[in-house]
Structure 1
């Protein structure tokens, strides 16, 4: 793994770079931007790239990785690539074909990390997200513990190095960890986590089980209109955060990332701008004082930008629990 990035050891012995590059793309952004951003991210030093079949940019990410490998910029083993199983592929016979499709799109023989995207199953259909007459997702009843067994088989088949989950609450993690015949524990839980939603209880729980917390929305999300209430507070404009940034002679974004990193969280940073990508990599170059950390702890509001309301009618909807 690149010496440029610090790494965190996972419970299966593999290592995850301590800062990742996020690749979610809203409909209004052309796919060419994702390709360009992935090229830039690898050039400036990111070795951990997080994507998902639901983002519909796996092909672009794959093209960027392959072109950088061919150009000798990186070797495959330098890269840590995460993708995710979408909710409409929970049925046991669909898991491996879904992963194989992602591998084909990414032009890879294996991914480093494969996650269950949400604990909520959606009915499978040719259209990845079937809707009812009111435009709501048609939900399913598959037990994610059965889906997990198929992820374990994908790991045994060498299609993936590590397996984990995303958007699980502590009760759902507990159920998975107590599953009879569990072969592999999830190595991580990827959740929304930032200064306004610092996930301290979930983080403590995950640490107690040797599960790494990976943070999406680490900078308060990209505020895409499709998912985020445009009246919600802009995290990086927070006056207290800006004061701490000024004091440390760093940008608010860097302080927000460093805060997560110092708590043992692996943040995913997303940007389409080279200067921001480069700046985010400076997260390892300074330290926040205990006083600064305490001040930043005080910004928590348990405020969620991405509440996934499209899944709220399902009993497995994860965000009804406190953590």
Structure 2
């Protein structure tokens, strides 16, 4: 069976299976986090933008208070939102997440994307005339402020999300602390082999978000999407062979290749089921078959409100 964790450049270990919390409503996410903790999850992927960190923090506080869980058993990640890219805004934004999560340090802090927005009263998506306002803050300068969080002992590792190869190369040429992780959309419909190989060559761990291909995300008008991954006959056939669900196969697809993944669910039975992925093994041929489903179908495109015109928009390049 494959390892359950990946060792980062910092020497710290990140569990390969985590709970995703994007679009997990505040009213239910605390219970979901508690169920996940009871089911053995130790990696939790959070973000200021998700607006539910206080409830997740309440779950941590409750379980830590019961005395059956130690802080060093948890691996908690959060993300710096685009509105706080100005260097002077980085630490206050970090401390706000830290306070809401009710912790005294984070294990991983990611830059949510390379694109900066102006900080206008802390608005998440500042707009004018129906278009997103953009800032010209250089993500390299943002990164330097994030490095200071490591040096102050507030976070153990720092990384990025939604960065392409050229942006990673530029960051690597300027950093003091190399990004430990790049969190990107990855699944059999979007395997991104060049990016995966590049990160591997630089020692940058990958975290795959949307491992099921965003089944709940509505298809934009006129977009011809492939059938949902969870209903794909090839995925289903492999799942039936192993006596597993399609979701478990899609999670195993990443974990077996040393890529962390953060499936999101708020359904207790599915949270538990999604963790049952260490008692079977995909063959090399099955891995190759799943990779063969690649059709470069990106579901999280960040192209709303004119965002694709941002000078640091990451999806116009590899």
Q: Give me the TM-score of the superposition, normalised by structure 2.
A: 0.94
Distance 1:250 1:175, change over 3 A: same
1:235 aligns with 2:233: no
Deviations 1:119-141 (A, max 9, x none): 001111112321011x2210110
* Aligned counterpart, 2:302: 308
Q: Are the equivalent residues in 1 in contact too, given 2:215–2:228 (CA < 8 A)?
A: no
Q: Are the equivalent residues in 2 in contact too, given 1:228–1:306 (CA < 8 A)?
A: no
Structure 1 spans left out of the alignment, 5+ residues:
none
Structure 2 spans left out of the alignment, 5+ residues:
none
* Aligned counterpart, 1:169: 164
1:199 aligns with 2:192: yes
3-state DSSP of counterpart to 1:243? helix
* Aligned counterpart, 1:185: 178
3-state DSSP of counterpart to 2:110? strand
* CA distance in structure 1 between the partners assigned to 2:106 and 2:31 by the alignment: 21
Tell me how large the CA RMSD over aligned residues is. 1.7
Distance 1:230 1:53, change over 3 A: farther
3-state DSSP of counterpart to 1:214? strand
1:218 aligns with 2:211: yes
After the TM superposition, which parts of structure 1 deviate over 2 Å for at least 4 consecutive aligned residues? 224-233
* CA distance in structure 2 between the partners assigned to 1:274 and 1:128 by the alignment: 30
* CA distance in structure 1 between the partners assigned to 2:212 and 2:219 by the alignment: 18
1:264 aligns with 2:262: no
Q: CA deviation at 1:275?
A: 1.7
Which of 294, 300, 318 is equivalent to 2:314? 318
3-state DSSP of counterpart to 2:207? strand
3-state DSSP of counterpart to 1:287? coil
* CA distance in structure 2 between the partners assigned to 1:227 and 1:308 by the alignment: 13
3-state DSSP of counterpart to 1:190? strand
* Aligned counterpart, 1:9: 7
Greater mean alpha carbon deviation, residues 227-236 or residues 122-131: 227-236
* Aligned counterpart, 2:22: 24
3-state DSSP of counterpart to 1:37? helix
Distance 1:229 1:16, change over 3 A: farther
